[in-house]
Amino acid sequence: MTMAVTGRDQFRRLAILITTNMVDMIGFMIVVPLLPFYALDMHATPETIGWIIAAFSISQLVASPLWGRVSDRFGRRPVLLISLTSSAAAFMIFGLADTIGLLFVSRIVQGIGGGTTGVAQAYVADTIPPAQRARALGWLSAATAAGVIIGPAIGSLASHLGQEAPGFLAAGLCLVNVGFAWKWLPESRVHSAVGYVRRPVWHAAWNVIRHPIGPVPRLIWIYAVGMLAFTSMTASFALYLEAEYGITTETIGYFFVYIGALSFVMRSLLLGPVVDRIGEHWSMRAGAAALVVGLTALPMVHSVWLLIAILPLVPVGTALLFPSTTSLMSQLSPVGDTGTVMGTAQTYAGISRVIAPVGATIAFQRLGHGMPFLLGAAMVGLVSLMTFRIRRTTVEDDPALESPVP
3 burial via Cβ count (<10 Å: 0-12, 13-18, 19+): exposed
Which is nearest to 110 in space by CA: 183, 24, 177, 180?
A: 24
Q: CA of 256: how far to CAs of 192, 238, 248, 278, in Å?
A: 42, 9, 13, 29
Which is nearest to 137 in space by CA: 270, 322, 301?
A: 322
Gap between the Cα atoms of 155 and 339, Å rounded: 32
Q: CA of 242: how far to CAs of 125, 234, 236, 313, 319, in Å?
A: 42, 13, 10, 21, 26
Say how many residues make up the chain.
406
Residue type, 135: R
Residue 363: per-residue pLDDT: 85
Residue 299: per-residue pLDDT: 94
Which is nearest to 271 in space by CA: 227, 309, 188, 327?
A: 327
Domains parsed from the chain with CATH numbers: 1-185 (1.20.1250.20), 201-406 (1.20.1250.20)
End-to-end CA distance of the chain: 19
CB 230 within 8 A of CB 358: no
CB 252 within 8 A of CB 238: yes
CA atoms within 13 A on the CB side of 308: 9
Residue 116: per-residue pLDDT: 61
Helices (H), 130-201: 130-158, 165-184
Helices (H), 32-164: 35-41, 46-74, 76-96, 100-113, 117-127, 130-158
Q: What is the pLDDT tens value at each position of the chain, 406 positions in all?
A: 444 444 566 777 778 788 877 887 788 778 777 777 788 789 887 667 767 877 887 887 777 767 777 877 788 888 888 888 998 999 999 999 999 999 999 989 988 876 566 677 778 777 777 777 767 777 777 787 788 778 877 887 888 888 889 899 999 988 988 888 888 888 776 654 444 445 555 566 666 766 666 778 888 889 999 999 998 887 778 778 878 888 765 566 677 778 878 888 887 778 778 888 888 889 899 999 999 999 999 999 988 899 999 999 998 998 888 888 888 887 877 666 666 777 778 778 878 888 887 788 788 888 888 999 999 999 999 888 888 877 654 444 333 333 333 3
Residue type, 294: G
